[in-house]
Amino acid sequence: MTLSSDPRRLRLIDEMGLGPVWVHRVAPQDEPHVSDTSVPRTIRIATLDWQPMRDEVTSCVACELSRTRTQTVFGVGVQRPDWLIIGEAPGAEEDACGEPFVGQAGKLLDAMLVAVGLARTRNVFIANVLKCRPPGNRDPAPGEIASCRPYLERQIELLAPRMILVVGKVASSALLGGDQPMSRLRGKRLSLTIAGREIPLVATYHPAYLLRSGEEKAKAWADLCFAREVYEELGVTAA
């Protein structure tokens, strides 16, 4: 057993409120993920490799949404994506087919991505703050966001995206904290620090909102162009 998998040390870290930040991780091939059930859930998830985490999400019962979902929606796309797109939560169609953004909003999102040279099959990963559908598409509850957050953080860490595009106020607030309207968040180079790595982040309107408020599409387009500039400033070009 190494320091990073010692259950007593991990529990102590959790009780001190230090969370996974201080956990020294070794390469997955050197150490299997921690399976000791006495280890706090957040810290255990922070050690999971991709497929074990996917399996755990599939059978997750950490919150009430597990009772009403048809299936979990883990995310879709490529590993090591240029952009990671983060939405709010699966809707009815996503819950039915197990993939994010497949409904009308998803079609618009795909069109927006294509317009800046991106595609979920090529250079993007798409995930949500929640892996399960809130009944009636209500807003995610704070407890549900907190329960799902370790999965999203571990996804971000393992995917290591070059940048993040977050769509919608709910997802932006969940990721960044605070309660700022999109009008204050958009047009800025924000960032999210995950496992010690600062990742550039741009926020824009949710495609479902754009479907209802067509007059905002021009702003979303400006946001995507801005995000593209941020990405290009990183010194990489999408394939």
Binding footprint of ligand URA on the chain (CB under 6 A): 87-91, 94, 100-101, 105-106, 128, 208
181 to 33, 170, 184, 237: CA distances (angstroms): 39, 9, 6, 31
- Distance in angstroms (rounded) separating the CA atoms of residues 5 and 9: 8
**Residue whose CB is less far from ligand URA, 13 or 65:** 65
Q: How far is the CB of 73 from ligand URA (least distance, A)?
A: 6
Q: How far is the CB of 40 from ligand URA (least distance, A)?
A: 28
- Distance in angstroms (rounded) separating the CA atoms of residues 104 and 101: 8
**Residue whose CB is less far from ligand URA, 42 or 72:** 72
Q: How far is the CB of 146 from ligand URA (least distance, A)?
A: 18
**Residue whose CB is less far from ligand URA, 77 or 90:** 90
- Residue 232: phi, psi to the nearest 5? -70, -30
Q: How far is the CB of 115 from ligand URA (least distance, A)?
A: 19
The answer to whether 123 touches 232, Cβ cutoff 8 Å, is no
**Residue whose CB is less far from ligand URA, 110 or 153:** 110
- Distance in angstroms (rounded) separating the CA atoms of residues 10 and 33: 13
